[in-house]
Amino acid sequence: MTESRRRKHIFISEREHGLPYSKGMTASQLMVTGIGPGRAYAVANKVEQELQALGLDSVPTTQLRELTLEVLRREAGEEFAEAFLKWQSVAELDIPLIILIGGATGVGKSTIATQLATRLGITRVVSTDAVREVLRSAFTEQMFPTLYSSSFEADNAVRQPIPHTGDRLIIGFREQAAAVAVGAQSLIDRAIAEGTDLILEGAHLVPGFLQSIESDQAVIVPLLVVVDDEELHRSHFYLRSRESRHRPGDRYLQAFKKIRRIQKYMVSSALMRGVPIISHYDFDATLTQIIEHVIAKALESAERGVEIATSGDKLLERAVEVIGREREKGATTR
């Protein structure tokens, strides 16, 4: 292939090492708005064509962002353009983003966390099951028996006397969650200290078990994912049994009633503490709801006066204006 037929690279200035424009990375960023993968890639390709038409060898980050916004508005509509604007303002926050996804076994936390990380460009995703494994290395089964059981089997490891009115399952689960919360809190503290974005997911992220989740040094977004429909929840385990030899679904199906009781307890804890509850029935809809909560929480932090990167001041102002217009619309419809 001759040099003239090769695709010309357009480098993005104000970015480390002057990396070339990437349609794949741009499409991934656009998917945060809720636009589909194919359509996102088409918009990213259109952006590249317009950059080439300008005859530039390099483009400033701000100019690229404005062009992307313009093309997105033209090709997909104002709704997606405003969503992109709001997310870009979140990306400009000079503090880490920490998303906590709690939920009972089998609601889809791991898959949601993985896909959310891809859309948001977050590289660190940790499961509380991994935290529990680390704690096991420090405590023997004799010292801390509930750590050696699944969340829905911790009742079998409870040694303390249970009050007549007590629920052995919930008591065992609470004991396990309280222990894992110590390790989870350490991960959160380290992410804040390092300025690293983090998604932490797991059945042990029970609202109320972590220390204060309000911080001026990070945007911390706690969420609880639930599956309201009992049969839909049960079907997740049938799917799991077909796809994995190491996590047989029969074991979960036998404990299904216990898992539903734990979910009910987690919902109660979330309602008491004002933690958003995401009803998971459609994957894309769930991701969209979570991203909306993340954006709202981040802009709330910005409006409280959290330090913003200098390059993001103007962008933030525009995003806050968008939020303000939406609030006014909501007020007039009530």
Over residues 207-249, the pLDDT tens digits come to: 999 876 777 888 999 999 999 999 999 998 887 666 555 556 6
User: Are residues 137 and 276 located together in one domain of the fold?
Assistant: yes
User: Are residues 266 and 237 located together in one domain of the fold?
Assistant: yes
Q: Is residue 178 part of a domain?
A: yes
Q: Is the pLDDT of residue 22 over 80?
A: yes
User: Are residues 261 and 321 located together in one domain of the fold?
Assistant: no
When divided into structural domains, the chain yields a total of 2
Query: What is the rounded CA–CA span in Å between residue 188 and residue 208?
Result: 15
Q: Is residue 47 part of a domain?
A: yes
Residue-level pLDDT at 87: 79
Q: What percent of the chain has pLDDT over 90?
A: 34
CB atoms within 10 A of CB 22: 14
Boundaries of domain holding 47: 8-92+312-333
Residue-level pLDDT at 311: 41
Q: Is residue 326 part of a domain?
A: yes
Contact present, 230 and 260 (Cβ < 8 Å): yes
Most confident by average pLDDT, 1-15, 88-102, 302-316: 88-102
Q: Is the pLDDT of residue 160 over 90?
A: no
Query: What is the rounded CA–CA span in Å between residue 230 and residue 247?
Result: 20
pLDDT band at 16 (very low <50, low <70, confident <90, very high): low
Beta pairing partners, 308: 93
User: Are residues 212 and 283 located together in one domain of the fold?
Assistant: yes
Q: Is residue 3 part of a domain?
A: no
Q: Is residue 2 part of a domain?
A: no
Residue by residue, DSSP assigns 175-229 as HHHHHHHHHHHHHHHHHHHHT--EEEEETT--TTSSS----SSSEEEEEEEE---
CB atoms within 10 A of CB 203: 27
Q: Is residue 162 part of a domain?
A: yes
pLDDT band at 320 (very low <50, low <70, confident <90, very high): low
Residue-level pLDDT at 317: 56
Q: Which two tokens stand for residue 35?
A: 């636009």
